[in-house]
Structure 1
Amino acid sequence: MSLAVRSALCAALLLAAGSAQAAVTPVPVGQPLARFANLKPGVHRYLRFKQAGDTVRVADVWTREVRFEDQDGQRRLHIVQHWDGVGAAPSDRQLDSWFELGTFRPLTHVRRTQKDGAAKVEGYAFQPDKIVGLKDLADNAAKDFEVASPQPSFNFETDMEFLQALPLAAGYEASIVFTHPGGGPPAAYLFKVAGSEVLNLPGGGKVDCWVVTADYNHPEMPITRFWFAKGSQVMIKQLSPLPDGSGVIGKTLLY
Structure 2
Amino acid sequence: MKHLLFTICIFAYSFTTSTAQVDTINTSNGKLNLAALQEGKRTYAVFFEDSLTGNRLTTADLWDRTIRFSTTPTGQKTYQFGWKWYQKDSLLADVTATGILSSLAPLTHNATYTKRGIRNFVFNGTTVTIPPASRRTARDSAFNVVMNPPAFEFPMDLEILPLLPFKKVGQEFAIAFYEPGSPASDYYRLTVTGREDLVMGGNAKINCWLLTIDYGQSDAHATFWISDQNREVVKMREYFRGRYRYKVKLY
Same fold (TM over 0.5): yes
Equivalent position to 1:84, from 69, 83, 86: 86
Deviation at 1:199, TM superposition (A): 0.8
Partner of 1:229 in structure 2? 227
Whether the aligned pair in 2 keeps the contact of 1:127 and 1:152 (CA below 8 Å) is no
Is 196-205 or 64-73 further displaced after alignment?
Answer: 64-73
Question: Cα–Cα, structure 1 residues 33 and 58, in superposed 2: closer, same or farther, change >3 Å?
Answer: farther
Partner of 1:132 in structure 2? 129
Question: Cα–Cα, structure 1 residues 175 and 140, in superposed 2: closer, same or farther, change >3 Å?
Answer: farther
The 5 Å alignment of 1:88-167 reads: 89-115=89-115, 120-136=117-133, 143-144=140-141, 145-167=143-165
Is 1:39 the counterpart of 2:26? The answer is no
Look up the SS of the partner of 1:181 in the other structure: coil
The 5 Å alignment of 1:1-255 reads: 7-52=5-50, 53-56=53-56, 57-73=58-74, 74-86=76-88, 89-115=89-115, 120-136=117-133, 143-144=140-141, 145-170=143-168, 171-218=170-217, 220-243=218-241, 245=242, 247-255=243-251
Look up the SS of the partner of 1:151 in the other structure: coil
Aligned-partner residue type, residue 214 of structure 2: D
Whether the aligned pair in 2 keeps the contact of 1:69 and 1:75 (CA below 8 Å) is yes
Look up the SS of the partner of 1:58 in the other structure: coil
Aligned-partner residue type, residue 123 of structure 2: F
Look up the SS of the partner of 2:157 in the other structure: helix
Look up the SS of the partner of 2:216 in the other structure: coil
Aligned-partner residue type, residue 85 of structure 1: Q
| Superposition TM-score, scaled by structure 1 size | 0.86
What do the CA deviations read for 1:31-80 (whole angstroms, capped 9, x no partner)?
43441111111111110000122422224101110101234543211110
The CA RMSD over aligned residues, in Å, is 2.2
Deviation at 1:204, TM superposition (A): 1.3
Question: Cα–Cα, structure 1 residues 75 and 128, in superposed 2: closer, same or farther, change >3 Å?
Answer: closer
Whether the aligned pair in 1 keeps the contact of 2:147 and 2:178 (CA below 8 Å) is no
Unaligned stretches of 5+ residues in structure 1? none
Aligned-partner residue type, residue 176 of structure 1: I
Whether the aligned pair in 2 keeps the contact of 1:30 and 1:104 (CA below 8 Å) is no
Looking at structure 2, the residues matched to 176 and 227 of structure 1 have their Cα atoms a distance apart, in angstroms, of 17
Deviation at 1:16, TM superposition (A): 1.9
Whether the aligned pair in 2 keeps the contact of 1:228 and 1:237 (CA below 8 Å) is yes
Looking at structure 2, the residues matched to 96 and 129 of structure 1 have their Cα atoms a distance apart, in angstroms, of 19
Whether the aligned pair in 1 keeps the contact of 2:31 and 2:164 (CA below 8 Å) is yes
Task: Among all aligned residue pairs of Structure 1 and Structure 2, give the percentage whose two residues are the same amino acid.
Answer: 23
Question: Cα–Cα, structure 1 residues 194 and 148, in superposed 2: closer, same or farther, change >3 Å?
Answer: same
Looking at structure 2, the residues matched to 27 and 214 of structure 1 have their Cα atoms a distance apart, in angstroms, of 14
Looking at structure 1, the residues matched to 180 and 240 of structure 2 have their Cα atoms a distance apart, in angstroms, of 24
Question: Cα–Cα, structure 1 residues 104 and 213, in superposed 2: closer, same or farther, change >3 Å?
Answer: same
What do the CA deviations read for 1:88-107 (whole angstroms, capped 9, x no partner)?
x1312111011111211111
